[in-house]
Amino acid sequence: MHTVVLTKGVPDFREGKVSFDEDGHLERGKTPTVMNPNDKHALRAAFQTSVRNGGHVSLMSMGPPGYQEVLQEGMADVYADDLYLLSDREMGAADTWATAMTVASGIEKLDTRPDLVFAGFKTADGETGHTGPQTAYCLGWPIVTHVISLDIDEEEDRLRAKRLVDGDVTEIETVEAPLPCFVVADPEFEPTYRKATHRLEHKDRREQTRERAEEYEDHLTVWDHEDLNLDPDYIGLDGSPTIVAGVDPIPKAPSEREATDVDGGDPAELEPVLDELAPYAAGD
């Protein structure tokens, strides 16, 4: 069982140092970056599959050279056997469509065709949720979105999954799809390891991947557009139909805030606080 997880670096909004060029494109090389939080749900889903069904987990991203650290983060924090970075200047400033075409080419270049490709629900910067479905479209694979749990029937080469209907946490449906298949993991996804053998395997693999992450360069493959046989006119900025109309900067939260210590056991101290909050509780 070979699974691939797609991830993306997103601005570390905690730092408040997000840089844009004059055309409104994010300058990722000048912006502190972390692994997109929703992608970790996808990575956990892939890890569960590898523990239960055996096999190999590859983590793939498209971005500048600094994304190597994002891939290392994913390997260390969750799990990955190897890492793939699609990176060169021709890929820069890509929208979701140009990104999807590039990533699909990276998946097709792998030595073995994956059985499953996982993607996160959406990214913390663009929040479009487009790249996963568009990559599935480029591959011509079936896709199951909003997945909260899954099992693989290896004899029948089928995925069985529970998914939220239209993202509604109150309505769940069970679906099946043939492999290879594309899966978008929902933030509600929770890995489960019912068997003792699975829990032991989970522990062993976690220890192995932490050691591997310390020397992640030995497990990293970098491909540029020539390696992927991609025409620069159809990737990166030139291949992106999206036009950025404007960008609103995100202000950094103040590092220090005024606070008043209140003794919860002293009614005299609590009374003025309650008086101040009462209008908000009433909806005023």
pLDDT in tens, 103-146: 999 999 999 999 999 999 888 777 788 999 999 999 999 999 99
Structure-token pair, residue 112: 């073995």
What is the structure's pLDDT at 192? 94
pTM attached to this predicted model = 0.82
Contacts of 157 (CB under 8 A, 6+ apart): 115, 178, 179
> How large is the greatest C-alpha to C-alpha distance in the chain, in angstroms?
73
pLDDT at 23 over 70: no
Q: Confidence class of residue 252 from pLDDT cuts 50, 70 and 90?
A: low
Contacts of 86 (CB under 8 A, 6+ apart): 60, 61, 62, 63, 102, 103, 106, 222, 223, 224, 228
Q: Confidence class of residue 180 from pLDDT cuts 50, 70 and 90?
A: very high
Helix (H) or strand (E) holding 38: helix 37-53
What is the structure's pLDDT at 33? 85
pLDDT at 254 over 70: no
**To 10 degrees, the CA torsion angle through 186, 44, 4, 210?**
150
Q: Confidence class of residue 253 from pLDDT cuts 50, 70 and 90?
A: low
Label the pairing between strands 168-178 and 33-35.
unpaired
CA 112, 117, 120 angle in degrees (round to 5)?
Answer: 150
What is the structure's pLDDT at 125? 76
What number of helices (H) and strands (E) belong to the chain?
6, 11
Contact 29, 66 (CB under 8 A): yes
Helix (H) or strand (E) holding 181: strand 181-185
